[in-house]
Chains A and B, each alone.
Chain A
Amino acid sequence: MTLLDIAPTDTLPAPLPPVSPPPAATRRLAAGRRLRSTLATLGWALVGFAVVLAIWLLGAAKVPQLPTPGETFSTLRTLLEHPFYDNGPNDKGVGLRLVTSLQRVFLGFGLATLVGAPLGLAMGASRRAWRAANPVIQVLRPVSPLAWFPIWLVVFKDSANAAVWVIFITSLWPTLLNTAAGAAEVPEDQRDVARVFRFGRLAYLRHVLLPNTLPSTVTGLRLSMGTAWMVIVAVEMLAGGGKGLGSYVWEQYNALNLAAMVAAIVIIGVVGFVLDLAFLRLGRAVAIQEVTP
């Protein structure tokens, strides 16, 4: 996140076309500045990674069982050479594990979006719905999603399904609450416009409520996805069953294959980063361009 936040965000189109194209010299200068800025961003990111690697090396020197970065990355390369091999239910490539985890996350996340976004919209738009739902949510939300695992296990009698529903619960709250907050904060002047011109329910929903809610809904989706990706690893460690990246991490630990375990953690981190990046992009795409007087 930090790396991305430094990146320039201002992509608004200029309100008026420039009077004349800037001379080539000015353009070259601007391009040079951009290049320097990009290089600086990358350079400092490398400094950050170097510090972490140094700490890692130090830790690996003190605790001999821990794999060094070198061991880990050579294992990672081996793993990624045949990511999709399938030698029966208990021996699958790391790529297949990743696909399983992603499927579970997107299924649970998708269900949570289908429930959370409309419910949040209703909560934000109606005071009664807010009053009815908010207390329940505030009590349920602090419960660790993992605590739901046994409940879903009892309900579905299947750990794979239970894992999906744990992700559902995980993804529900941020989506729901952010959507509700967005829907509750429609600017008053836009509400006045809708009243003065007597917008019907549908027109209000389409032209006022939804456009104002969408950006915070996407923020909610981004938070949901971030937490869901963290929780899927934990719930798969709990669920076992030889599928998913979480159980992979746990199996490698039990097999004392620690280099593969840390390599899997690196994969988890990179995939989580890419997912977050995707939702950040989506958020920028739906952001309302501020109207400045």
Chain B
Amino acid sequence: MSLIVDAVRKQFVHRGSSQEVLRGVDLEVHPGELVALIGHSGCGKSTLLRAIGGLLPVDSGRISLDGEAVAAPGPDRAMVFQHYSLLPRLSLLDNVRHAVRAARPDWSRDQAEAAAERYLTAVGLWEHRGKRPSQVSGGMQQRTAVARAFAVEPRVLLLDEPFGALDALTRARLQAQLIDLWRSESDTEIVLMVTHGIDEAILLADRIVVMGNGPGPSVIDVISVDLPRPRDRVSVIDEPAYRAVQARLLELLMSEAAPDAAA
């Protein structure tokens, strides 16, 4: 029982010219795994994530969760976006609460309230629950978005460069918090995360999917990260396994010609 991406293709047509972004992607993610998708801009990693989220139809191939085809967004999959994407007029609590109620119409009111409180508390924002997004920092906004995603108790959590816009210290804290939430506070089984950061990928992931720009296959390599958890961000970088993965990733990403920045 797992998340299976099977021979998925997707092309975008823009002003007559078409570009195949996903070229026969195969991927299998098992419960308990955190998989990072890494690659240059335009390699299709976000496209793949959105397709799994059900936001984007694919041209061919199949995405399934526990054997059931994924065609639309569902409460079994929640997403965290790069730009936090909180609704600006709602308080932090209302952002979480309304998402839970909408995604989980079968839950009772109390159940939804409890989930919202639990995860906002878990990310340390319960006392700020009445504030609006514009009144808190970027890090707090993204923690709210993480709480919102966990609060619908998804089986799969999809993260699209969640910490890319944050400063290094805030990012480090949120990475630790994410792992904590995932491993001890939630029943979420699978985490899929798009990232630009090599170190972020190695620190967080069990496996790293390296994607490249055409014309070759989308997935260049899948690298296992055999580092025990919990991983300490300071000492882990001295592990030989860390060094090996880092060297391999650098080699793959450097040899992959970076497309124009405009992509």
Q: Which residues of A contact B (CB under 8 A)?
A: 12-13, 15-16, 189-190, 192-200, 203, 207-208, 211, 288-293
Q: Are B165 and A200 in contact (CB under 8 A)?
A: no
Distance, CA A283 to CA B5, complexed state (A)? 48
* Secondary structure of the B contact surface, majority rule: loop
Q: Are B73 and A195 in contact (CB under 8 A)?
A: yes
Q: Smallest CB-CB separation from A204: which chain B residue?
A: B102
Q: Are A211 and B152 in contact (CB under 8 A)?
A: no
Closest CB-CB distance, B3 to chain A, in whole Å?
Answer: 16
Given contacts A211-B88, A288-B88, A293-B138, contact A197 B99 (CB under 8 A): yes
Closest CB-CB distance, A211 to chain B, in whole Å?
Answer: 4
Determine if B53 is an interface residue (Cβ-Cβ < 8 Å): yes
Top 5 nearest A-B pairs (CB, nearest first) are A289-B134, A189-B85, A197-B99, A211-B89, A293-B165
Q: Smallest CB-CB separation from A200: which chain B residue?
A: B102
Which residues of A have CB within 8 Å of B53? 196
Of the residues B74, B85, B88, contact of A198 by C-beta under 8 Å: B74
Distance, CA A193 to CA B185, complexed state (A)? 23
Q: Are A190 and B87 in contact (CB under 8 A)?
A: yes
Determine if B90 is an interface residue (Cβ-Cβ < 8 Å): yes
Given contacts A198-B75, A288-B88, A291-B134, contact A207 B98 (CB under 8 A): yes
Of the residues A15, A195, A289, contact of B88 by C-beta under 8 Å: A289
Q: Pick the interface stretch among B8-16, B76-84, B205-213, B218-226.
A: B76-84
Q: Are A207 and B89 in contact (CB under 8 A)?
A: yes
Which residues of B have CB within 8 Å of A197? 73, 78, 98-100, 102-103, 148, 152
Q: Smallest CB-CB separation from B75: which chain A residue?
A: A198
Q: A193-B99, A196-B73, A288-B89 are in contact. List 7 more A-B contacts (CB 8 A).
A: A195-B55, A199-B98, A203-B98, A203-B101, A290-B134, A292-B138, A293-B165
Distance, CA A288 to CA B89, complexed state (A)? 7
Given contacts A197-B102, A211-B87, A291-B86, contact A192 B137 (CB under 8 A): no
**Interface Cβ pair total, 8 Å cutoff:** 81
Q: List 30 A-B contacts (CB under 8 A).
A: A15-B137, A189-B81, A189-B85, A190-B85, A190-B87, A192-B79, A193-B85, A193-B87, A194-B102, A196-B55, A196-B79, A197-B98, A197-B99, A197-B100, A197-B103, A199-B98, A200-B102, A203-B98, A203-B101, A207-B87, A207-B89, A207-B90, A208-B87, A211-B88, A291-B84, A291-B88, A291-B141, A293-B83, A293-B141, A293-B165
Determine if B136 is an interface residue (Cβ-Cβ < 8 Å): yes
- B121-137: CB near A (< 8 Å → 1, else 0) gives 00000000000111111
Q: Are A192 and B55 in contact (CB under 8 A)?
A: yes
Among A190, A193, A207, A292, the most chain B Cβ lie within 10 Å of the Cβ of A193
CB within 8 Å of A: which of B96-127? 98-103, 105
Distance, CA A193 to CA B152, complexed state (A)? 13
Q: Smallest CB-CB separation from A189: which chain B residue?
A: B85
Which residues of A have CB within 8 Å of B148? 197
Distance, CA A293 to CA B85, complexed state (A)? 10
Distance, CA A289 to CA B88, complexed state (A)? 7
Which residues of B have CB within 8 Å of A193? 81, 85-87, 99
Q: Are A293 and B84 in contact (CB under 8 A)?
A: yes
Closest CB-CB distance, B213 to chain A, in whole Å?
Answer: 24
Which residues of B have CB within 8 Å of A200? 102, 105
Distance, CA A292 to CA B133, complexed state (A)? 9
Which residues of A have CB within 8 Å of B132? 289
Closest CB-CB distance, A17 to chain B, in whole Å?
Answer: 11
Closest CB-CB distance, A190 to chain B, in whole Å?
Answer: 6
Which residues of A have CB within 8 Å of B134? 12, 15, 289-292
Distance, CA A203 to CA B53, complexed state (A)? 20
Distance, CA A194 to CA B95, complexed state (A)? 11
Which residues of B have CB within 8 Å of A198? 73-75, 102-103
Q: Are B135 and A15 in contact (CB under 8 A)?
A: yes
Distance, CA A208 to CA B74, complexed state (A)? 19
Which residues of A have CB within 8 Å of B136? 15
Q: Smallest CB-CB separation from B145: which chain A residue?
A: A193
Distance, CA A16 to CA B138, complexed state (A)? 12
Distance, CA A13 to CA B132, complexed state (A)? 11
Distance, CA A188 to CA B183, complexed state (A)? 31
Of the residues B85, B88, B138, contact of A192 by C-beta under 8 Å: B85
Distance, CA A32 to CA B73, complexed state (A)? 57
Which residues of B have CB within 8 Å of A15? 134-137
Distance, CA A15 to CA B77, complexed state (A)? 32
Which residues of B have CB within 8 Å of A290? 88, 134
Which residues of B have CB within 8 Å of A12? 134
